[in-house]
Amino acid sequence: MHSFLPEVEKLCSRLVQKKMIYNKNDEVGVVLFGTDDTNNELTSEVGGYQHVVVLRNSKVVDGDVIEALQKLPRGNFPGDFLDAIVVGTDIMVKKFGPTNKGKKRLCLITSAQDPVKMSFEGTKEDQVDAIAISMNALGMKLDNIVVRGNSTENADRTILDDNDCLLNRFSRGACTKTVYVQSPTKLLGALQTQNVSPVTIFRGDLELTPEMKIKVWVYKKTSEEKFPTLKKYSDKASPTDRFATHGVKVNVEYKGAENTNKAVPPQQRIKGYRYGPQVVPISSAEVEAMKFKPDKSVKLLGFTNATNIMRHYYMKDVYIFIAQPANMKAILAVSALVRAMKENNMVAILRCVWRQGQGNVVVGVLTPNESNAESMPDSFFFNVLPFAEDVRDFRFPSFSKFPPSMQPNEQQQDAADKLVMMLDLAPPGKEEVLQPDFTPNPVLERFYHFLELKSKNPDADVPPLDNILLRITKPDPELLSQNKSVIDEFCKQFELKRNPKIRKSSGDKPTRSSEEPEGFVALNTRTVNFVENNSTAKVDSIGDSTPIQDFEAMMASRDGKKWVDKAVKDMKTLIYELLENSYGGDTYEKAVDCLVALRKGCILEYVCHLLLVYSLLSLLPKFIQVASLYSIFCVCKGTALDAVHYSVLGQ
């Protein structure tokens, strides 16, 4: 396993780094097998267990164990993982005995490519069964991480199969989980370093009708992992004070605008909501009375076809509904409902109030989850659905409306299809890349590593992102090199042109594309011609495709004032056309954007405000007819000319 040991060192050291943050009272021990020497108590007590070294006995996590795990010795002898499991179990038994059931955990990391020695009594299978029964009686858990990769390609297939059978046999008598990893990235995510206790967010009835209810428990299935909370720290306490908390107490004072030297007491303060130019005060009693206080319940609103619920409707975290444990009637009812919904391709819509007095009601979709394991009952997945106010309706023009010259031809479409298939993360017959269960968050992993460096050296610099984590944030370079011909063919079918950044003119007035990032690349089919954007290009009219950019370019022209007048006139004409030729209001937003640009351009170019007011007044009847009077007032806000605008529009 020498080729995998650098990744194993990172995995184990970061495990302890996270425990230093979240579980600082946990104890960790380290056992190595396949080493050159032997150092464990069982060798001297009963004999055997050669080439097994106890690198560190079970102790509270600290910086020393991190350093030890970052420099693991390399051995040259075959590793017997059963010997290592027995030695690790012996350490826990001697330290904790039968106590702390469910909290003792063994994590085995091995390639399992070396043969296991024969037992003096019974077969290997009998030995595994005896160890599993003993671990189960002591309340121990076992996690097996089997590393397979290029180093095991030449290994004996018979030995690998025998060892896999032995590792899987542990699950019969003990609480065991076995994971096979093929890549260093998956290895980093194979060991769940932070144990999250399962806590229900709801226990009660799933109400199908007032007369028909099913007892269910609800858990969170996924939840975003946040950064550890930063706390304020004070170094004013004496360094010799062992009981100093170094805590910081924050006091907040509110002062009035009229008298900034006098604090306003709590009884003279009140919260309010801004409503236009004024603030409407709302007392705490009114806020409490205004709150919606539904009763705790989970009610079925109805069923709908699964195709009616789009994937992008899902919001927030994912929950899992299970039947109440040990309640056979509830388990059978949930299972029957799951299978019926699965067979008919239906989902359920629920109204949920998780706790009494909850300030909001959740409406979500219940998706059936039929179990494939005999020991695992059927369940439901629950996703929150948006209300009308939560939906963002962004309208984009359809490519089908473009002329045939702007549609991809057969060769271009084929090149794009091959590019997509080349970057498939789950190709047929291969292991899926970047599985969520085994892909660590690169930002958090880097944070834990930097925190450990900072604890040793306060002046330590932020390290670069690890090469293994780079495979999560960037495309795999090996995959790109293997498929270079596909990428070249795609680039050949599409013409790439660099769009240079347009610098501001000498008058410090914005010009076309002044806010575009440098190096912006425009993708362009071979049949479409684009005018190269540069500072010397002449724009003499406002087009339909980029009217705002054309307007800004004409306004910035230094040839004469006629271009400013022409730009204002052409923009007004274009806005009229957008409103007249609109189909179902699809160009209203573009018309408002052009109106905003018209107002902004006139002010920046110091055009007489009467010209702008006249343009706005001439457009006002049309906006009232097809769009909204509010749009006019939106574009007349926030400048020194507002007083004139409002007074004229008011008349």
DSSP 39: B
- Report residue 126 as tokens: 């009998």
Report the CATH fold assignment for 200-224+295-390.
Ku70; Chain: A; Domain 2 (2.40.290)
The pLDDT-based confidence of 601 (bands split at 50, 70, 90) is confident
Q: Is the pTM of this model over 0.95?
A: no
Of the listed ranges 3-17, 110-124, 592-606, 622-636, the least confidently predicted one is 622-636
Positive or negative torsion for Cα 121, 126, 128, 134: negative
The pLDDT > 70 percentage for the chain reads 84
**Where in the chain is CATH 3.40.50.410?**
2-182
pLDDT at 582 over 90: no
**CB neighbourhood size of 393 (10 A):** 5
DSSP state of 263: B
Question: How high is the pLDDT of residue 381?
Answer: 97
pLDDT in tens, 518-557: 443 444 333 333 333 344 456 778 887 788 888 888 877 6
Q: For strand 362-369 and strand 379-384, is the pairing parallel, antiparallel, or unpaired?
A: antiparallel
Measure Cα distances from 4 to 110, 183, 190, 239, 483 in Å.
Answer: 10, 9, 14, 43, 27
Query: Could you tell me if 472 and 442 are in contact, meaning their C-beta atoms sit under 8 angstroms apart?
Result: yes
pLDDT bracket for residue 614 (50, 70, 90): low
Q: Which helix (H) or strand (E) holds 516?
A: none
- Comparing CA positions, the residue from 613, 611, 600, 612 lying closest to residue 649 is 613
Q: What angle do CA 167, 170, 172 make, to 5 degrees?
A: 135
Task: Band the pLDDT of 284: cuts 50, 70, 90.
Answer: confident
Report yes or no: 338 and 380 within 8 Å, Cβ to Cβ: yes
DSSP 255: B
Residues of the chain with CATH 2.40.290.10: 200-224+295-390
Alpha carbons 17 and 20: distance in angstroms, whole number: 5
Residue 304: the pLDDT is 96
Average pLDDT over residues 457-484: 86
What does the alpha-carbon distance between residue 626 and residue 613 come to, in Å, rounded to a whole number? Answer: 20
Contact 8, 32 (CB under 8 A): no
Tell me the CATH class for 2-182. Answer: alpha beta
Per-residue confidence at 560, pLDDT binned at 50, 70, 90? low
More confident residue, 196 or 222: 222
Partner residues linked to 203 by β-bridges: 217
Most confident of 74-78, 175-179, 264-268, 342-346: 342-346
